[in-house]
Amino acid sequence: MKFNFEKIINFIIGIILINNLYLLTGVIGVSSNSVIILCFILSFIFFFKSFNISQLINQTNNWNTSFYLIASIPLLLVDWIINKSTPNFNDLIRVLMYSFYFSWTFNLYIYSKYLKTWFIAICLTSFAILTLQGIFEEKNPILFSILLSSGNLEKRALTRIAGTLIDANAYSGLLCIFLIIVYIEWVKNYLSYLKKTILFFLIIFTVYLTELSGSRQTIIMLVFFFLYLFFREINKRKIIVFFSFTILLILSVFIFWNKIEDYVVQNPSSSIARYLSGNNASQSSRSDIERTKSLTSGFELIVDNNFIYGPGIINFASRYKNFTENPVPHNGFLYLFTQFGILFLIPLYFFYKIGVRSLKSENFILFILFFIHYSLEPNLMYYCTTYFVCFYIDAKYFEIDKQLEQN
């Protein structure tokens, strides 16, 4: 009974952290900080209870967190002396919490027959929660933003749905991640009619919510996913279906072009509108300009730090704000470079190792989608999404490795 209770607690905390549900706890009169502290403490306690040094050092999540922690301490001192930046420990606390949680989960489920069930349950439950959030937010954006514990006024001005992920790209990208993991887990075995039906609805809702979110990067992720579906075990039937669908799509665009134009005008923040309108769409144009400015500012900060050092994870927010008014770099790799200088080559190597493990565990399509997501988001490395993906790839890699040892 105690063991089952631990698994229930683990599942609840996972759902809260992966989906940022602590932002909605104000609805029940509990502050988001209180929930985060509770999740941190519980994750640490169960992590400590099941501590295993050999398993701890083999997880890429712990490599990254150790680097953030160790590298940021001396960089904190250097940057404070040179630039007098103000420390902010939020990101460091988050990644420590994620490491504790997924290390605990690793010890709880690794090599267990229930690991697959855990992944499916996390993905489907989270997908359902984010879907309901997206539909509710699309119908009542002002009310939804009021419900957020953060009280983020900027959120109320947004017309693109983002749920409790706050960022529209992070929201739709996470839906795409859930979709591909469920597909990978189910396609390995015989797909029953029920599973095919669930996958069909997962795809439909992912496309629909991505369109509502206005995320162009997730459209790219979905295109790669559909190409993967097509080229995986390609056959004559797939080729016929592909060309038939392509012809039907082209004809539909020509036939319904007037309606498409009306839709673009009425929904300027949708993904289709942002692609078709390009620089003619105010939101799309503003987003492209901000993205360009963010990349330029990132490079300028790197030059200002002589390519050698950076403010680290703790001082970055203050240092960047004092350096420029532009948004932070909208590229995960450049973001790390601005934070850690030349030391960013270390987490870059860790990222490479994740790619190698995904290839060996036959999950490379997940890594490709994650790479796209990572390359177009500013600070995805500090989202629970990154820790979830790395945990999945690690777990599958160790499963394959154990099977090879047994054979």
Is the pLDDT reported for residue 365 higher than 50?
A: yes
pLDDT per residue over 113-134, tens digit each? 899 999 999 999 999 999 999 9
DSSP track, 202-261? HHHHHHHHHHHHT-HHHHHHHHHHHHHHHHTT--HHHHHHHHHHHHHHHHHHHHTHHHHH
Q: Which helix (H) or strand (E) holds 71?
A: helix 60-83
Q: pLDDT value at position 223? A: 92
Q: Show Cβ contacts of residue 303 under 8 Å, excluding neighbours closer than 6 positions.
A: none
Average pLDDT of the residues in 337-341: 93
Q: Which of the four pLDDT bands, split at 50, 70 and 90, describes residue 341?
A: very high
Dmax (CA) for the chain in angstroms is 66
Q: DSSP class of residue 87? A: P
pTM of the model: 0.91
First to last CA, the chain: 35
Domain that holds residue 203: 2-406
Cα→Cα distances 317→38, 89, 91, 115, 312, Å = 25, 10, 10, 37, 9
pLDDT band at 279 (very low <50, low <70, confident <90, very high): low
Phi first, then psi: what are they for 110, rounded to 5°? -60, 135
Residue 144: the pLDDT is 87
Number of structural domains the chain divides into: 1
Q: What percent of the chain has pLDDT over 70?
A: 89
Look at 300 and 258; give whichever has higher pLDDT: 300
Please give the pLDDT value at position 64.
95
Query: According to the model, what pLDDT value does residue 151 have?
Result: 47
